[in-house]
Structure 1
């Protein structure tokens, strides 16, 4: 038997392997013990013979560095099997007894299976047709897709077949390509073995390899839907949650990025609970670094609408943790935390009570004064709006002059979403006349909102907020003094103006004409509102007849009689 050495040239090693394999195949015919196991082994050996034949036909096979470790190891396994086969061919008893021999045979058979897998992987990847150094060279900017595909095949082959050093170099190359070419992620997912890569997340005995694998998975998860889907299907979420729970700070940050990305798919959210991840995410929000907190609360936001997880979040104490992040987190964490609270607040009375018990309402109201991000303000306002369904909460909001003034400013200067939420809040609160007068300057903006058909509900919100503000007598005078706004209201009454439901401008006219309103009546008459209302009354638009009667001074009875005669 030839001694196994890694110093032999590849061709010499292949010749030695071929010789031992031939002897072994003959030996398996004459065994007298464990015949069933040797039959299975003979099938594997025949498969190996075919693979070695394919290997020798690859013109550059001997130059591939992976074979420098694979071939010596394969030769050692075959030599061990040959020795075992000879023991089984002898009529003498087995040394060490049957159990020990059976164990040795199973171990050798398992090693052979691993070698077959690695060899098959090498052959299928196509890398044996190319010559490459141990340190892979990244395809240049002008490289075509074929070069990049080979690079990825070679990289993942080294990752799976090679030892620790090969894995480390391969992961370095993978990170290089992912960091320098964002579009490469889709090709990596398509051509690489993502399941093997996610398995390296638990490669605890090699911290550097594990760290590189976490970095790669994090980048892939954040890159596109296809990557996230495959990482999730390969069980990556469970590995990532364990890293978030027990890993180092840099690893936790990368794991949190990937978890947030994976849970962004609504179909994946349920698995957070299945993997026991609710408490892990909450703890990361409580004690993690700023980056970890930001992405962990993002993941909680993603799953906060899932019914089963929602209750688990409450039971694990998520509300005070999220409220604390709204106040003290980074700007990105604040936005996601505010979004989470808005989602929970809209979920029902149970969560609204929890938020109020944790002084969430006061903190949200105070936070509006300090925020500059319109997205975060939007989430805060949504949360406040959901909380306002409680009578006691509505009273607190209605009496807050600071909040009312901010709502007026959002209506004047905010985006359409902020305008809609602010207008809806104003319409639903019982605001004092003094505070209504304090925000009279936003009425012109509310009239403009009524001209916008999108988003849905914006016109109604603007109209209802205006009707609420017009219960203050001084505000009526202010609106009709604003020539531009008045003409817009009259224009909206015109049946030919089709961008708005006519019930909304009719509501405004009725609000302007309620109570003692001779000045408003005169301004509306001068602006030509009467003729439009006449047509709307004939069209039976809700409230139009009442508005026409108030505006013209004609009683409803005489108006109907005249219409009948005509």
Structure 2
């Protein structure tokens, strides 16, 4: 709206909307008639007449709007149209009468008139289409605060530049006084209005003010979803490249805030925003530089945008910023951006190396301030490529040792993880020890948070495969052992237990370390870890238990109770015999051991009888009946296993097979109790007893089949993991690796269990007489006898390594010494 005209009218006349409408409608035919009579400047007047023909339809649209009669903006717009029409009449008369100062002056006045007519038509369209008429319905003197704000936003969109500029100044004053009041009524159309204003003006002063408003909106965090739209971001990005320093600084801050959203990051890239941001990183002031670097860092966090960043030479820019960034924050953003870029893109990794990124990152780690984990992680990303040797040559290990010593917990974790990845050969592992990494990693075991202790144990487990490094950890003192024992906690959320086991297995060669492990309760933890099938737990448990038994026997031999040598020798021999008998007592006290002895007798008799009547067959039947007593209520064991949780990471098919095995075996043992009742005469129905007996044997057959499938599946998993380890240690002796040896031992155990399950299937088929010609009673007896002979040997072996109550019983034999 033309401000000078508005001032004249509003200061003289205040008329209702209908009166202004009537005046404007009455002027239109008169104006058109006079304009058509003008003979000079025909092209100009032709354009003016074409605009005048659109005035009636605009007036009609305004008059039919529901808010027409009470809209303040409508009133002002009708005044402006009326004054513009009156001005048209004046200029037309001047042209008809040829009373004007000069042609150039008249041409300028006519151009101005065309602009005013265009503005009137545009403003009428905005008032109708955007709903501005409904927003401002009363005069400013009576309006509430919210209505005043709405009026200001409306005035940003209509009228001439000066009036819109005044409305913008009023908005800025509201933001300074109480920005919350402004934010409460802000809508997406208001944000779009600001952006349209900034694109329609060439005034730098106005642009700066609009940028200030948008910066406040972005800082509030309320309008992010509106600001990230393309219609808003595109003009802002253009202003970053072409605006002055004030606009660049504030818009870069806005983009920094918005680029946290991946949608905004994609929009910035799609609208060619990378190049101006890189230019700011190179030539901007400290604040703009940091904001632009942070924006690029946020964009690099979106995987699909990294290649586009690389094509814009971002690596070179970030390496340069890492070397000469004004603020520490700029360098940190640059390091984090390089970290993101090198996560999964080999081309960008090569670019980082070729641009001198390794040297810059190492130099950044040498800074006096606390080293940041982002630089460590960026270096670690280069380890998996072909630059490991270069990293070691340039001195990455001393820097990692420094991070372990003085870095923040997160930086220490990143450094420990990098050591795990870079130290794959014995040479690099020894070099890590020479730089003091082992001592600092052992210190990490004392951290309060579990994550730091876990990654410290993982790094130690990797380095301790070299004997000299293992000795270094042992020398570090009992505190490291105690911390590692604490990591044996079987809690499912504790991911460090497998690394702690690996470390303790290697340290168990030291008697002192074994004593410390036992004193801190390692045995109790390990028993639970064995049940969870944790690698190396069984081996470590056996070492600790056998070590305690050997110590007990040694005490028996070296603690004489007589004064002369003959009594010492006799006492020693007697004590050793007592110890051996104690082991036999422990073994025979096991119900399972006695059951297996009876079973070996049963199947041996079946082999001898071959199904023929006689003494051997009688022994077979009587022993079979006696064995059932040992299995009373044994079904509870498998019932407990059925409802117990599986080890984390077990595939669903193996879980289902394992639970099926437990269910079938539990059913077999339960039904076997009913068979015992029938065989002893307590239960009188013999036919049903025989039927239940066959059903129970079928359950046993099914459980053996499930066991076979489970073992085959577990062997497949072990084979896959062993092949991965073989690839990792292809340049070294794999049998020196504790993890590989543990998996190999477990594979052997699984293979033996598979053979046993297969033999159980044959025995079950024989007992059920499913293939009587092939699986005869003698074949059944042979397989059963051999199968349980192996089981007896296993039980005997296990009995020598038990702890807790078993060792307590043995201790009773030492009381006589």
* Contact kept? 2:417, 2:455, Cα under 8 Å: yes
Task: Rate the CA distance shift 1:461–1:182 in 2: closer, same or farther, 3 A.
Answer: farther
Q: How does 1:341-420 map to 2 (within 5 A)?
A: 341-370=338-367, 372=369, 377-393=372-388, 396-397=391-392, 399-410=395-406, 414-415=408-409, 417-420=410-413
Task: Rate the CA distance shift 1:111–1:209 in 2: closer, same or farther, 3 A.
Answer: closer
Indicate which of 386, 396, 414 corresponds to 1:421.
414
- Determine helix, strand or coil for the equivalent of 1:193: helix
In structure 1, what is the Cα distance between the partners aligned to 2:454 and 2:269? 40
* Contact kept? 1:301, 1:339, Cα under 8 Å: yes
Residue in 2 that maps onto 1:99 = none
Task: Rate the CA distance shift 1:309–1:501 in 2: closer, same or farther, 3 A.
Answer: closer
* Contact kept? 1:427, 1:465, Cα under 8 Å: yes
Residue in 1 that maps onto 2:477 = 482
Residue in 2 that maps onto 1:294 = 290
- Deviations along 1:262-290, one digit per CA (max 9) or x if unpaired, are 32211122222332222222222122222
Task: Rate the CA distance shift 1:36–1:525 in 2: closer, same or farther, 3 A.
Answer: closer
In structure 2, what is the Cα distance between the partners aligned to 1:518 and 1:427? 28
- Deviations along 1:383-437, one digit per CA (max 9) or x if unpaired, are 1111121353256348545313213215xx623x323212211222324536426
Answering whether residue 83 of structure 2 is matched by residue 76 of structure 1, we say yes
In structure 2, what is the Cα distance between the partners aligned to 1:72 and 1:52? 19
In structure 2, what is the Cα distance between the partners aligned to 1:24 and 1:167? 27
Task: Rate the CA distance shift 1:433–1:48 in 2: closer, same or farther, 3 A.
Answer: closer
Residue in 2 that maps onto 1:433 = 430
- Deviations along 1:12-57, one digit per CA (max 9) or x if unpaired, are 697566234146479999xx9x9999996543332344569944x5
In structure 2, what is the Cα distance between the partners aligned to 1:491 and 1:497? 14
- Deviations along 1:211-260, one digit per CA (max 9) or x if unpaired, are 11122122212321x42322332612221122111111111111211222
In structure 1, what is the Cα distance between the partners aligned to 2:58 and 2:254? 40
Answering whether residue 249 of structure 2 is matched by residue 253 of structure 1, we say yes
In structure 2, what is the Cα distance between the partners aligned to 1:407 and 1:511? 26
Residue in 2 that maps onto 1:138 = none
In structure 1, what is the Cα distance between the partners aligned to 2:307 and 2:489? 51
Residue in 2 that maps onto 1:467 = 461
- Determine helix, strand or coil for the equivalent of 1:372: coil
In structure 2, what is the Cα distance between the partners aligned to 1:247 and 1:81? 39
In structure 2, what is the Cα distance between the partners aligned to 1:180 and 1:559? 84
Pairwise CA distance, 1:7: 2.8
Task: Rate the CA distance shift 1:110–1:543 in 2: closer, same or farther, 3 A.
Answer: same
Task: Rate the CA distance shift 1:184–1:508 in 2: closer, same or farther, 3 A.
Answer: farther
Answering whether residue 253 of structure 2 is matched by residue 18 of structure 1, we say no
Task: Rate the CA distance shift 1:159–1:546 in 2: closer, same or farther, 3 A.
Answer: same
Residue in 2 that maps onto 1:90 = none
* Contact kept? 2:24, 2:81, Cα under 8 Å: no
Residue in 2 that maps onto 1:508 = 503
- Deviations along 1:192-219, one digit per CA (max 9) or x if unpaired, are 6111101122244322112111221222
Residue in 2 that maps onto 1:45 = 59
The answer to which of 325-334 and 487-496 deviates more is 487-496
Residue in 2 that maps onto 1:442 = 440
Answering whether residue 119 of structure 2 is matched by residue 116 of structure 1, we say no
Answering whether residue 199 of structure 2 is matched by residue 202 of structure 1, we say yes
Task: Rate the CA distance shift 1:397–1:185 in 2: closer, same or farther, 3 A.
Answer: farther
Pairwise CA distance, 1:129: 3.2
Task: Rate the CA distance shift 1:147–1:360 in 2: closer, same or farther, 3 A.
Answer: farther
Pairwise CA distance, 1:355: 0.4
- Determine helix, strand or coil for the equivalent of 1:43: helix
Residue in 1 that maps onto 2:261 = 265
In structure 1, what is the Cα distance between the partners aligned to 2:479 and 2:216? 54
Task: Rate the CA distance shift 1:299–1:462 in 2: closer, same or farther, 3 A.
Answer: same
Task: Rate the CA distance shift 1:279–1:531 in 2: closer, same or farther, 3 A.
Answer: closer
* Contact kept? 1:444, 1:479, Cα under 8 Å: no
Task: Rate the CA distance shift 1:391–1:47 in 2: closer, same or farther, 3 A.
Answer: closer
Task: Rate the CA distance shift 1:498–1:175 in 2: closer, same or farther, 3 A.
Answer: closer
Task: Rate the CA distance shift 1:453–1:546 in 2: closer, same or farther, 3 A.
Answer: same
Residue in 1 that maps onto 2:141 = 131
* Contact kept? 2:16, 2:75, Cα under 8 Å: no
* Contact kept? 2:289, 2:330, Cα under 8 Å: yes
In structure 2, what is the Cα distance between the partners aligned to 1:434 and 1:170? 70
Task: Rate the CA distance shift 1:51–1:422 in 2: closer, same or farther, 3 A.
Answer: same
- Deviations along 1:87-115, one digit per CA (max 9) or x if unpaired, are xxxxxxxxxxxxxxxx9999887454234
Pairwise CA distance, 1:478: 5.1
* Contact kept? 2:482, 2:520, Cα under 8 Å: yes
- Deviations along 1:45-74, one digit per CA (max 9) or x if unpaired, are 32344569944x56xx5xx9x977x55531
Residue in 1 that maps onto 2:798 = 563
Task: Rate the CA distance shift 1:274–1:526 in 2: closer, same or farther, 3 A.
Answer: closer
- Determine helix, strand or coil for the equivalent of 1:128: coil
In structure 1, what is the Cα distance between the partners aligned to 2:226 and 2:498? 52
Answering whether residue 14 of structure 2 is matched by residue 7 of structure 1, we say no
Residue in 1 that maps onto 2:320 = 324
In structure 1, what is the Cα distance between the partners aligned to 2:152 and 2:367? 50
Indicate which of 536, 545, 551 corresponds to 2:538.
545
- Structure 2 residues without counterparts, runs of 5 or longer: 37-45, 93-110, 551-744, 750-792, 803-817
Q: How does 1:304-343 map to 2 (within 5 A)?
A: 304-306=300-302, 309-329=305-325, 330-343=327-340
In structure 2, what is the Cα distance between the partners aligned to 1:497 and 1:243? 54
In structure 2, what is the Cα distance between the partners aligned to 1:294 and 1:115? 42
Pairwise CA distance, 1:341: 0.6
In structure 2, what is the Cα distance between the partners aligned to 1:526 and 1:52? 88
Pairwise CA distance, 1:324: 1.2
Q: Give the superposed CA RMSD.
A: 4.3
Task: Rate the CA distance shift 1:157–1:304 in 2: closer, same or farther, 3 A.
Answer: same
In structure 2, what is the Cα distance between the partners aligned to 1:158 and 1:296? 33
Task: Rate the CA distance shift 1:349–1:434 in 2: closer, same or farther, 3 A.
Answer: closer
- Structure 1 residues without counterparts, runs of 5 or longer: 86-102, 133-145
- Determine helix, strand or coil for the equivalent of 1:493: coil
Indicate which of 220, 234, 240 corresponds to 1:238.
234
The count of aligned residue pairs is 514
